[in-house]
């Protein structure tokens, strides 16, 4: 822990303003982090799916905690803005395991993390309940919060819930989110397609401490801000942006087409 790391954590928390949300363009490597930071981003977030995919591994803790933190640590060392990491399910069976994972995360220089309640990756069928029981997830969030307090870093804790994406009704999503906030989360990340009315209802229920995805099919960034959210992230859609452009460029060049202006893009040092 250092005073600069504490300051970065405080800066990150202060950017979570309902109605004037923090917009996070999630990345998966150092170069992407530098590019995003150079555009004026006040913080950088990682996406576990993207990091795992770049390593040829599946999401859902298919990569090890060490794999994840190796990338997070390099990113945190490469940019001057706060870094928040996708810690997936917390890499461990018990709350104490989660606390250990958070301690290791903070040792990289990162100052925030996501912890999710999904037990099965979205898009995959689940033979049993795909969500961790609320009390269990609350214990894990409380352990993460305590780990930050022990290190002296005011961890910015984003509690992801997959309840909506798994078909839960809005009252269940609200109940989970309120419990997570009471357990020590700073913000609730609701994954799943939402109408603007649902976003506004969730933002009100969570006193603005709501993170949603910004991507096609969702309300616009301006609409989400007006609904009172405090955080918008693009999640795992970063590779679609980057590699979609690469695929189009490759097709143009391989067909003997003209060079692309982006080939001269000045990458940050």
Task: Return the half-sphere exposure (C-beta side, CA atoms, 13 A cut-off) of residue 119.
Answer: 12
Domain layout of the chain by residue ranges: 3-264
Q: Torsions phi, psi of 165, nearest 5?
A: -65, -25
Question: What would the mean pLDDT of 223-244 be, rounded to a whole number?
Answer: 97
pLDDT given for residue 2 in this prediction: 77
Q: Compute CA distances 224 → 23, 40, 181, whole Å.
A: 11, 21, 20
Task: Please give the distance of CA 131 from its chain centroid, rounded to a whole number.
Answer: 18
Q: Which DSSP letter does residue 87 get?
A: -
Strands (E), the chain: 22-24, 44-45, 83-86, 112-116, 156-161, 187-190, 210-213, 231-233
Question: What would the mean pLDDT of 112-133 be, rounded to a whole number?
Answer: 88
pLDDT exceeds 70 at position 92: yes
pLDDT given for residue 48 in this prediction: 97
Mean pLDDT of all residues belonging to the chain: 96
Least confident of 4-8, 45-49, 121-125, 163-167: 121-125
The answer to whether 248 touches 261, Cβ cutoff 8 Å, is no
The pLDDT tens digits for 10-53 are 999 999 999 999 999 999 999 999 999 999 999 999 999 999 99
C-beta atoms surrounding 68 within 10 Å:
25
pLDDT given for residue 51 in this prediction: 98
User: Residues near 14 by Cβ (< 8 Å), separated by ≥ 6?
Assistant: none
pLDDT exceeds 80 at position 123: no
Question: What would the mean pLDDT of 126-132 be, rounded to a whole number?
Answer: 84
pLDDT given for residue 198 in this prediction: 97
pLDDT exceeds 70 at position 127: no
Q: Compute CA distances 187 → 17, 121, 161, 181, 219, whole Å.
A: 11, 21, 11, 7, 19
Least confident of 25-34, 63-72, 125-134: 125-134
Q: Helix and strand tally (H, E) in the chain?
A: 10, 8
Question: What would the mean pLDDT of 72-87 be, rounded to a whole number?
Answer: 98
DSSP 140-181: HHHHHHHHHHHHT---EEEEEE-TTTTT--HHHHHHHHHHHH
Q: Compute CA distances 213 → 23, 183, 238, 257, 264, whole Å.
A: 10, 23, 12, 36, 31
CA dist., res. 176 & res. 182, Å (int)? 10
Give the predicted TM-score (pTM) of the model. 0.95
For 3-264, CATH gives: 3.20.20.60
pLDDT exceeds 70 at position 1: no
pLDDT given for residue 5 in this prediction: 97
User: What are the structure tokens assigned to 184, written together?
Assistant: 């020590």
pLDDT exceeds 80 at position 259: yes
Question: What would the mean pLDDT of 185-202 be, rounded to a whole number?
Answer: 96
């Amino acid at each position: 822990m250092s005073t600069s790391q504490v300051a970065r954590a405080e800066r990150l928390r202060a950017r979570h303003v309902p109605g004037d949300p923090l917009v996070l363009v999630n990345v998966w490597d150092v170069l992407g982090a530098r590019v995003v930071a150079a555009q004026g981003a006040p913080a950088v977030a990682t996406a576990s799916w993207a990091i795992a995919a770049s390593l040829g591994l599946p999401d859902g803790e298919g990569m090890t905690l060490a794999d994840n933190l190796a990338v997070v640590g390099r990113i945190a060392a490469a940019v001057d803005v706060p870094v928040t990491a996708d810690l997936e399910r917390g890499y461990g069976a018990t709350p104490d395991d989660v606390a250990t994972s958070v301690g290791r995360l903070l040792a990289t220089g990162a100052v925030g993390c996501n912890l999710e309640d999904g037990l099965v990756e979205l898009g995959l069928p689940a033979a049993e309940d795909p969500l961790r029981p609320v009390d269990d997830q609350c214990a894990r969030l409380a352990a993460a919060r305590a780990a930050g307090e022990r290190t002296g870093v005011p961890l910015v804790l984003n509690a992801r819930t997959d309840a909506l994406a798994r078909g839960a009704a809005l009252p269940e999503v609200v109940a989970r989110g309120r419990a997570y906030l009471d357990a020590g989360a700073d913000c609730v990340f609701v994954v799943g397609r939402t109408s603007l009315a649902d976003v506004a209802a969730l933002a009100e229920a969570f006193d603005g401490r709501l993170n949603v995805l910004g991507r096609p099919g969702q309300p616009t960034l301006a609409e989400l801000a007006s609904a009172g959210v405090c955080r918008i992230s693009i999640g795992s859609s970063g590779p679609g942006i980057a590699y979609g452009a690469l695929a189009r460029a490759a097709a143009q060049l391989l067909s003997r087409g003209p060079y692309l202006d982006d080939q001269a893009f000045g990458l940050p040092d």
